[in-house]
Amino acid sequence: MLTDIHCHILPGIDDGSKELEQSLAMARIAIDDGIDTIFATPHHFNGVYSNPRQAVLDQVDRLREALARERIWLRILPGAENHIVPELPDALADGTTLTMGDFGRAALVELPVHTVPASTEQILERILQQDIVPIIAHPERNTYLRRHPERLRRMIELGCLAQVTAQSCTGLFGPQVRAASRHMISSGLIHFVASDAHRDRRRIPEITPALEQVTEWTNRQVAELIGKEFPAALARGDVPDPQALDAVQEAPGSRPWWQRWFS
């Protein structure tokens, strides 16, 4: 079974699901794709939507009740897509915004669409100092990081993890985003594949087609780790060890035969 760590499934609180019916439709799509656990991650701090911890927890309770009523057996965990703002480290420390699953181990962090603010690493380091691992949401969709993946590598070297959006891999956001996804995944800079679903049409909670693409670009072990095992670890309240990824990146089959032959 699959875990989706980034999904706007809570109704009416951001630009994701508009109403409960749509959330239930998204839940059914997720189950059809083999997803059994979803982190509900509404936008927070992005200048448009504000979804502090308690508001999200209340919404998660409401959605869980509705799912149970409809006999849809999908596990919902609380979370937030926290925009990178100077007040984020303090909000995580005093519990006014959510970590993943409210476990206090990792937090989903969103960068602007086109830029990487100068203060980014400083904010990330302050979060890391609290023993919370920032997970960079969809770096492949950031214009600057597409051109300068070395800046993402620096964040990973600091101790951050990163999440690619499933439909970036399958081409929904265009060839440049798809190529960046391939490059970042093949370079070992990505630790999670997640849907970032917003609707029951087009941007849907579906991960499996992306994992087939990831397998083609890398190998089955990489797809297993970033598509299944690492997300599942997060759902257990653990933080996955990225070194497991380094090991399988070097596994036989991850490089063309001529490279293996002559090395």
Which tokens sit at 208?
């499996």
User: Is 81 one of the binding residues for Fe ion (CB under 5 A)?
Assistant: yes
Whole-angstrom CA distances from 20 to 17, 27, 50, 54, 67 are 8, 10, 19, 19, 10
Q: In what order do the strands lie in the sheet with 35-40?
A: 2-7, 35-40, 75-78
Q: What residues contact 92, with CB distance under 8 A and at least 6 apart?
A: 82, 99, 107, 127, 130, 132
Q: What is the closest distance, in whole angstroms, from the C-beta atom of residue 195 to Fe ion in the complex?
A: 9
User: Is 4 one of the binding residues for Fe ion (CB under 5 A)?
Assistant: no
Report the residue from 196, 207, 225, 226 that binds Fe ion according to the rule CB under 5 A.
196
Nearest residue to the partner Fe ion, using Cβ: 196
User: Is 14 one of the binding residues for Fe ion (CB under 5 A)?
Assistant: no
Closer residue to Fe ion (CB): 138 or 178: 138
Closer residue to Fe ion (CB): 138 or 146: 138
Q: How many residues bind Fe ion (CB under 5 A)?
A: 2
Using the contact rule CB under 5 A, the part of the chain among 24-32, 76-84, 122-130, 236-244 near Fe ion is 76-84
* C-alpha to C-alpha distance for 21 and 188, rounded to whole angstroms: 38
Closer residue to Fe ion (CB): 23 or 218: 23
**CA neighbours closer than 13 Å in the CB half-sphere of residue 32:** 11
Residues interacting with Fe ion, by CB under 5 A?
A: 81, 196
